[in-house]
């Protein structure tokens, strides 16, 4: 793990999974300032889901999940009135240790969790992910996805974060998505997702 600081953008029920892209509209003054900070410090930003069970709309610093996705700003389109549209590319997962500052926006002291690809050759993972792919294709077909998208799903064997990517594109319970993101064991993550896509197929 590597310890560093990163600006944190809290959002309700939004996860930045590694290996995915997230478009955002930046309009609040403090987050416009955060965007300027990002431009001067490597274009990195974390997206932390707000804990909605404790959410108070009057709280300027709502409680957030302590494990979340981080990424880099790969596109920025400034608007004439100071707002901006940006595109974040998910690069990894981070664990919050503490805050360097909370005002006017949060800068967290985090541990970036280094990816480990050893699991790719584990037979249990291979069998589990093969099942996930098969069931995900069935779900996408039932939702009217085009055939070329279904065929491209096989490319996920070469994706650096295959389980996280599939979690990002399927429509299931947010808390289950957060559980998958936060789980430290890649094989266990795959088994969690396998159980979810099994249930989704039974519900078709």
pLDDT of residue 204: 58
How many angstroms separate the CA atoms of 151 and 99, rounded? 44
User: Which pLDDT tens digit goes with each residue over 91-135?
Assistant: 999 999 999 999 999 999 999 998 888 898 899 999 999 999 999
Distance, CA of 103 to CA of 92 (rounded, Å): 25
Spatial distance between the Cα atoms of 170 and 180, rounded to a whole number of angstroms: 13
Q: Which domains does the chain have, with CATH numbers?
A: 3-113 (2.30.130.40), 123-203 (no CATH)
What's the confidence (pLDDT) of residue 12?
93
Distance of alpha carbon 183 from alpha carbon 164, whole angstroms: 11
Average pLDDT, the chain: 94
Q: Which has the higher per-residue pLDDT, 160 or 90?
A: 90
**What span, in angstroms and rounded, lies between the C-alpha atoms of 110 and 98?**
7
At 162-193, the pLDDT tens digits run: 999 999 999 999 999 999 999 999 999 999 99
DSSP assignment of 119-173: GGG-HHHHHHHHHHHHHHHHHHHHTT--HHHHHHGGGGGG-SSHHHHHHHHS---
Residue (of 50, 65, 38) closest to 10 by Cα position: 50
Q: Looking at the DSSP assignment, which residues form a beta bridge with residue 102?
A: none
């Amino acid at each position: 793990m590597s310890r560093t600081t990163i600006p944190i953008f809290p959002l309700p029920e939004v996860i930045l999974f590694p290996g995915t892209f997230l478009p955002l509209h930046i309009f609040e003054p403090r987050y416009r300032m955060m965007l300027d900070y990002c431009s001067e410090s490597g274009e990195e930003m974390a997206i932390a889901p707000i804990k909605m069970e404790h959410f108070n709309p009057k709280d300027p610093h709502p409680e957030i999940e302590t494990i979340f996705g981080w990424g880099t700003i790969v596109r920025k389109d400034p608007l004439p009135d100071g707002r901006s549209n940006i595109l974040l590319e998910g690069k990894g997962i981070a664990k919050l240790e503490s805050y360097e500052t909370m005002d006017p926006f949060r800068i967290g002291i985090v541990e970036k969790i280094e990816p480990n690809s050893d699991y790719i050759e584990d037979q249990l993972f291979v069998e589990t992910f093969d099942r996930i792919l098969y069931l995900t294709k069935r779900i996408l077909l039932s939702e009217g996805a085009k055939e070329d998208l279904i065929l491209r799903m096989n490319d996920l064997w070469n994706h650096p974060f295959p389980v996280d990517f599939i979690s990002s594109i399927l429509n299931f319970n947010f808390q289950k998505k957060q559980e998958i993101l936060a789980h430290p064991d890649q094989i266990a993550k795959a088994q969690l997702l396998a159980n979810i896509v099994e249930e989704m197929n039974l519900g078709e």
